[in-house]
Amino acid sequence: MSRYLSLMLVVFLLATTLACSAVTNATADVSLPDPVVDAPLATATSAQTAVFAGGCFWGVEAVFEHVKGVTEVTSGYSGGAAKTANYKAVSRGETGHAEAVRITYDSSQVSYEQLLKIFFSVAHDPTELNRQGPDTGTQYRSAIFYSNDEQKRIAQAYIAQLDQAKVFKRPIVTQVVALDSYYKAEAYHQDYLAHHPNEPYIVINDQPKVANLRKQFPDLYK
């Protein structure tokens, strides 16, 4: 009986791995056009921030940490109140938060539009509603939290452009909402992939995202 159960466990894990890998790579082979609504790079060093949510923040954080011009990425929570901005509460999916990343970047080296293109192409699947891969719940929703009217205009225009071009088989469900709060997550969530590169969840769901970034954006990869 134990041998039979062991075999069933192996089959289950293999099936799960393949399923998760298929979801993780849902956008891996999608070639996205550059945003039509674009702005030139800044002529001098200028620190800007962007806040994106695209499922578990571990993988999204890891992707943007490898983008040239990005100086800092932190995992955190957006869309809810301060008193419930902790992993235990957010994981219940009832606080209104989304697991999000705050990206600080030099706009003379990389543009907001380029970050959006990476976000939609390799960081997550923007057609999945309230889930990413094996993770389900509103805390894993796809969202762009804009901090000014320019970010809002650019994000909405790019989503409309991608939907019109039908680059994805399903409509984009990414929310574009004003950033009213961002709370940095617990210390053990920061740089999670770097500290746990061989953890099965990371290997299956997040390492392929970093690999796809390097493949699709070699000029922006660091």
| Options 26, 32, 56, 98, the catalytic residue | 56
Element (H, E) at 175: strand 175-178
C-beta neighbour count of 150 within 10 angstroms: 12
Is residue 123 a contact partner of residue 129, using CB atoms and an 8 Å limit?
A: no
Query: In terms of DSSP bridges, do strands 135-136 and 175-178 run parallel, antiparallel, or are they unpaired?
Result: unpaired
Is 56 tagged catalytic?
A: yes
How many Å separate Cα 164 from the centre of its chain? 22
CA distance 117 to 59: 16
Say which residue the tokens 């219940």 belong to. Answer: 92
Is residue 65 a contact partner of residue 118, using CB atoms and an 8 Å limit?
A: no
33 token code pair = 């056009």
Return the exposure string of 31-51: e unless at least 16 CB atoms fall within 10 Å of the residue's CB, then b.
Answer: ebeebeeeeeeeeeeeebebb
HSE-CB at 79 with a 13 A cutoff on CA atoms is: 26
Active-site positions read: 56
